[in-house]
Structure formats: structure tokens, C-alpha cells
């Protein structure tokens, strides 16, 4: 039986060597299930703390735990990493937001919100990135496809669940519906007079 | 708009006037010039297309930037503008023109409904004709901001990389390397071949469990490589690697799966 410190070192080695995020259930298998999930979680937190000041950090995502480089050093790393990550247009980002916050949605739902036709290209880009997938069909005439976000989407944005999406701002407060004022109170100087006298 | 109608409009609509002259009063404030934001010359249509995502976006912009509220939009002029764009758009992008046309119609409908006396229902007021438009504008703005927020989150591949230990690179065999794919099976018959490195075991485990997922990952890598690799030499380095090094056996199944996934895509 390993002591907690040794377990921690094994976890570190496993996570550094893994290609994909590893869930706690997977990590437990290394110890013949002898170490409880709570213990692993606590050790992972300790490990995360231990890597706090390094160029690499331990992060928890939807699929599990993984080591990743810190975003603050990216500007240096990308100089030796010629492969550029795709930049997405507003159309793609707005579509992604609608799928993420209102899922599952049909293409019609997206068009309703955006007020424009959603091109097949936009959905395809999100599908290719593995962020959005078809999860079924809505049982209405025409059986339109229903889209939802994937685990990869959460993983790639470092989120553990949809609950961690940035909260939608309460914009309603800033754009208020002012009541139509009665005509008499409106300043139409030369006209209000006549309007009354007519 | 004729004269009697003018009187009934709560906020004076824009009258044709020379620059500098009082054009209108908006919420009691004198207004001497037409808001610059309101007019987009047709020549600038290309820019216009790029700037706005659609009629809702344009309307939101007008309301936010020109400090108009939905009530104060000079409908006649706005509609005139819309119609000009629609004319130009007809030659370029019919679908988009239709969307702007619908918006223009909606604005006109709202304005005309506001000009009519509202039926006084017993026990409550009729719905504000602007309510539906405002609801849509708010929902759109929420999603627009949400999209910006999602884009601001640290993103894998753009803002950080997953950590890859060097040893994995050293053991990796390259897919489509003719020698490893077509060559004679080396140690594969020999089941007793010891793992060359525990690292191999790790890569292999994930692949053995989810061959389809592994193929998808491989496919993604190929796509990424093709997208970005075409531009520069040395692109072959980006090709997917076979990580099933434990048995020292080239993973032909994996290669075939990626290849078939490609064929499906192409087909």
C-alpha cells in the first residue's frame, strides 16, 4: 500500500503522460481501487497547489484532469508553435453561444435569435472543431436536426460543466421599455398649441 | 407624413432641414443634425456587410450607439434607407435583402400600430407593439455578448496547450510511414515482447478502449495538419502518430480507421 505522497507522485506521472484528460474513476484503477475517490480528489487538489507557480498547471475539465500550459505564457509558446488555432467569426461565435446556452436547438431556433439565415458552413465549422454535434431530431413537421454542445467543447474551454458557462448578463435592465408619453406632455412647441386648439 | 399625423406623433419625427437648423427634438433635447450613424452610404455596403450580422444587429447598433430608443427611431427615414440597401443587396445577396426587408416591414408595422389608438381592454392594457421586437433584440444582444465571452475564455490550442511529455514523441511511429504500415509485422507475433516504455501502455489503453474515438482524434489531427500544414514545409511532422508502441506493432487498424473516416467525409 502506497502512502499518500507516493500516490500523489503516481498521479502526477500518470497525468503528465496522459494524452487525454483522465477522470478520477480512471485514476483510481492504478491503485486497484484501494484509494478512495475523495482521497484522489484531495491529492489532485494538493498537486494543483504544488504546480501553482509553474509554467504548467493542473486543470479539471468536463472529461477529467489534465496538465496544460498556462495561458499567460502562450505569447511565448506560439512563437515556436507555428500552427495557428482557428479564429472564429462573429457568426460562428453567436451560433456557438446560442447552441451552448439554449440547447438543444434547431437551425430555425438559431435563425430566430440571430435574425439571419444560418449558413451550413457555420454549423460545419463548429462540428469539425468537435464542439457541436447533432443529437437527434425534433418531433415536429420536417423533423429538424437538434444540435447541442459536446464534452470536447467544455474540455477545450476548460469548463467542467455547462453550469460554468459565463453567466448571461441581465441586459433587460439597460434597455428598458419606456412608456409612450401622452402627446400633450411632448415638446412640439408650435404644434402642441395648435393641436389643442383644433 | 402629412401634417395632421405629425401632430399626433409623441416625439417629433425628423423634418427635412438644412444642417444646423433645428431638425427635431428628442426627449426635449434639440437635435440639429441627423445622427451620422443612421446613414450608411450604399458605397460602403461591403463594410456594412462585415460590420453587421443582420438587421437585428444593425437595429441594436442604431439604438445603442445613436442613443435612440426604439420609440425614437425615425421610421420613415430608416425605412427609406433599408429600401436603398435592399435594392443594392438584390444584386448581391438576395437572402440577406429579404431579412432586412422583413425588419423594415416590422418597424413600419410597429410604428403604425403605435399611431393608432390602443384598444382599452377591460382589466388590462393591450400589449405594447414594441414588446416582441424588444424581446428579440434583448435575446440577440445576450447571445452576441455571450459569444464574445465564450471567445474570451482560454481556449485549447489558442491560449494553452495540453502538456505532452517528450517521451511520447520519441516512441511515436508515424502513420502513413510506408515502412511501418506496409512493412512486415515485426514483434507483433511475439506476445511476450516487453513494453518498451510504460508511456506506450498509456497511449495504447485509450485507443484500445475506444477505437472509434481514437480514429476521430486521428481524423482531427489530419484535418488540422492539412489546414495549417499546406502552407509550410515539414507538414508531415503534424501527421497523426501511432502510439501503440507497446507491442512494437504498427497499428494498421488505426490507420485504416482514419482512412475510412476520411472516405466517409469525402463521400
ipTM (interface predicted TM): 0.80
**Average confidence score pLDDT of chain A:** 84
> B170 and B226: one domain?
yes
pLDDT at A88: 92
> B62 and B19: one domain?
yes
Hey, how many other C-beta atoms are within 10 angstroms of the C-beta on B91? 8
Helix, strand or coil, per DSSP, at residue A77:
helix
User: For domain A4-74, which CATH number applies: 3.40.630.10, 1.20.210.10, 3.40.630.30, 1.10.10.10?
Assistant: 1.10.10.10
Cβ–Cβ of B134/A156 closer than 8 Å? no
pLDDT digits (tens, 9 = 90+) for A124-153: 999 999 999 999 999 999 999 999 999 999
Chain B positions touching A56 (Cβ under 8 A) are: 163
Kindly state the percentage of chain B with pLDDT values over 90.
7
pLDDT band at residue B43 under the 50/70/90 scheme: low
Cβ–Cβ of B168/A181 closer than 8 Å? no
Using left for φ > 0, alpha for ψ between -120 and 50, and beta otherwise, residue A101 falls in: alpha
Report the range out of A2-11, B121-130, B226-235 with the highest average pLDDT: A2-11
- Which segments within A71-151 are labelled E, that is strand? 132-137, 145-149
Chain A contact probe: residue of B156, B168, B203 with most A CBs at under 10 A = B156
- DSSP letter (8 states) at residue A173: G
Higher pLDDT: B92 or A37? It is A37
Provide the residue ranges of all domains of chain A, joining segments of one domain with +: 4-74, 90-170
> B61 and B137: one domain?
yes
Report the range out of A50-54, A185-189, B12-16, B47-51 with the highest average pLDDT: A50-54
DSSP string, B51-112: H-SSHHHHHHHHHHHS---GGGS-HHHHHHHHHHHHHHHHHH-HHHHHHHHHHHHHHHHHHH
Is residue B28 situated within a structural domain?
yes
C-alpha torsion B212→B216→B217→B219, nearest 10: 130
Question: Can you tell me the distance from the alpha carbon of B2 to that of A185, in angstroms, rounded to the nearest whole number?
Answer: 21
> B44 and B80: one domain?
yes
Is residue B227 situated within a structural domain?
yes
pLDDT band at residue B67 under the 50/70/90 scheme: low
Higher pLDDT: A194 or A59? It is A59
pLDDT at B117: 77
Same fold, A4-74 and A90-170: yes
Task: List the grid coordinates of A190.
Answer: 408650435
> B16 and B85: one domain?
yes
Is residue B161 situated within a structural domain?
no
- Per-residue pLDDT at B251 exceeds 90: no
Residue B46's nearest CA partner among B84, B85, B14 is B85
Range of the domain at B203: 166-266
pLDDT digits (tens, 9 = 90+) for A65-111: 999 999 999 989 888 887 788 889 999 999 999 999 999 999 999 99
pLDDT at B22: 46
Q: What CATH class does A90-170 carry?
A: mainly alpha
- Per-residue pLDDT at B56 exceeds 50: yes
> B10 and B103: one domain?
yes
Chain A contact probe: residue of B14, B57, B136, B147 with most A CBs at under 10 A = B147
pLDDT at B27: 52
Question: Can you tell me the distance from the alpha carbon of A91 to that of B53, in angstroms, rounded to the nearest whole number?
Answer: 7
Q: Flag whether residue A115 sits within 8 Å of chain B, measured between CB atoms.
A: yes
> B140 and B204: one domain?
no
Decide: B158 and B233 in contact? Cβ < 8 Å. no
Kindly state the percentage of chain A with pLDDT values over 70.
84
- Per-residue pLDDT at B100 exceeds 50: yes
Higher pLDDT: B61 or A28? It is A28
Residues A75-103 as b or e (16 or more Cβ within 10 Å = b): eeeeeeeeeebeebebbbbbbbbbbbbee
pLDDT band at residue B226 under the 50/70/90 scheme: low
Residue A156 has its nearest CB partner, among B143, B156, B216, at B156
**Which of A95-99, A165-169, B103-107 bottoms out in mean pLDDT, i.e. has the lowest?**
B103-107
> B171 and B239: one domain?
yes
Overall number of domains in chain B: 2
> B135 and B172: one domain?
no
The pTM (predicted TM-score) of the whole model is 0.62
> B173 and B111: one domain?
no
pLDDT at B187: 41
Is residue B196 situated within a structural domain?
yes
Is residue B155 situated within a structural domain?
no
> B75 and B41: one domain?
yes
pLDDT at B46: 56
Decide: B160 and A61 in contact? Cβ < 8 Å. no
pLDDT at B60: 80
> B102 and B225: one domain?
no
Peptide bond into A104 cis (omega under 30): yes
Point out which residues pair with B251 in neighbouring strands.
none
Amino acid at each position: 500500500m502506497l502512502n499518500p505522497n507516493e500516490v500523489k507522485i503516481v498521479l502526477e506521472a500518470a497525468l503528465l503522460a496522459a494524452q487525454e484528460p483522465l477522470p478520477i474513476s480512471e485514476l483510481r484503477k492504478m491503485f486497484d481501487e484501494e484509494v478512495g475517490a475523495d482521497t484522489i480528489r484531495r491529492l489532485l487538489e494538493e498537486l494543483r497547489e504544488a504546480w501553482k507557480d509553474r509554467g504548467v498547471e493542473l486543470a479539471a475539465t468536463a472529461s477529467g484532469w489534465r496538465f496544460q500550459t498556462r495561458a499567460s505564457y502562450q505569447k511565448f509558446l506560439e512563437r515556436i508553435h507555428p500552427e495557428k488555432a482557428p479564429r472564429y467569426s462573429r457568426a460562428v461565435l453567436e451560433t456557438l453561444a446560442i447552441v451552448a446556452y439554449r440547447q438543444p436547438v434547431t437551425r430555425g431556433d438559431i435563425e430566430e435569435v440571430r435574425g439571419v439565415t444560418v449558413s451550413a458552413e457555420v454549423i460545419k465549422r463548429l462540428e469539425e472543431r468537435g464542439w457541436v454535434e447533432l443529437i437527434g431530431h425534433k418531433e415536429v413537421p420536417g423533423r429538424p436536426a437538434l444540435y447541442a454542445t459536446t464534452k470536447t467543447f467544455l474540455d477545450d474551454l476548460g469548463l467542467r460543466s455547462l453550469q460554468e458557462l459565463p453567466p448571461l448578463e441581465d441586459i433587460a435592465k439597460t434597455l428598458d421599455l419606456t412608456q409612450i408619453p401622452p402627446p400633450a406632455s411632448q415638446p412640439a412647441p408650435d404644434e402642441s398649441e395648435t393641436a389643442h386648439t383644433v | 407624413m402629412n401634417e395632421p399625423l405629425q401632430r399626433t406623433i409623441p416625439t417629433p419625427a425628423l423634418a427635412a432641414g438644412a444642417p444646423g437648423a433645428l431638425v427635431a427634438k428628442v426627449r426635449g433635447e434639440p437635435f440639429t443634425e441627423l445622427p451620422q450613424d443612421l446613414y450608411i452610404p450604399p458605397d460602403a455596403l461591403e463594410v456594412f456587410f462585415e460590420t453587421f450580422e443582420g438587421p437585428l444587429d444593425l437595429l441594436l447598433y442604431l439604438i445603442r450607439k445613436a442613443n435612440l430608443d426604439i420609440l425614437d427611431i425615425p421610421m420613415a427615414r430608416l425605412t427609406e434607407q433599408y429600401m436603398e440597401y435592399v435594392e443594392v443587396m438584390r444584386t448581391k445577396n438576395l437572402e440577406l435583402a429579404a431579412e432586412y426587408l422583413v425588419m423594415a416591414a416590422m418597424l413600419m408595422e410597429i410604428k403604425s400600430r403605435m399611431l393608432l389608438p390602443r384598444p382599452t381592454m377591460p382589466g388590462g392594457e393591450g400589449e405594447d407593439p414594441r414588446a416582441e421586437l424588444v424581446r428579440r433584440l434583448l435575446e440577440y444582444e445576450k447571445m452576441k455578448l455571450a459569444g464574445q465571452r465564450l471567445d474570451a475564455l482560454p481556449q485549447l490550442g489558442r491560449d494553452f496547450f495540453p502538456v505532452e511529455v517528450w517521451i511520447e514523441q520519441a516512441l511515436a511511429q508515424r502513420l502513413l510511414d510506408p515502412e511501418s504500415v506496409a512493412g512486415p509485422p515485426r514483434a507483433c507475433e511475439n506476445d511476450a515482447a516487453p513494453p518498451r516504455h510504460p508511456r506506450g501502455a498509456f497511449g495504447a489503453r485509450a485507443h484500445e478502449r475506444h477505437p472509434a474515438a481514437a480514429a476521430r482524434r486521428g481524423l482531427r489531427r489530419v484535418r488540422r495538419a492539412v489546414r495549417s500544414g499546406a502552407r509550410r514545409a515539414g507538414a508531415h511532422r503534424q501527421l497523426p502518430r501511432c502510439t501503440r508502441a507497446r507491442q512494437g506493432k504498427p497499428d494498421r487498424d488505426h490507420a485504416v480507421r482514419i482512412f475510412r473516416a476520411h472516405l466517409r467525409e469525402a463521400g
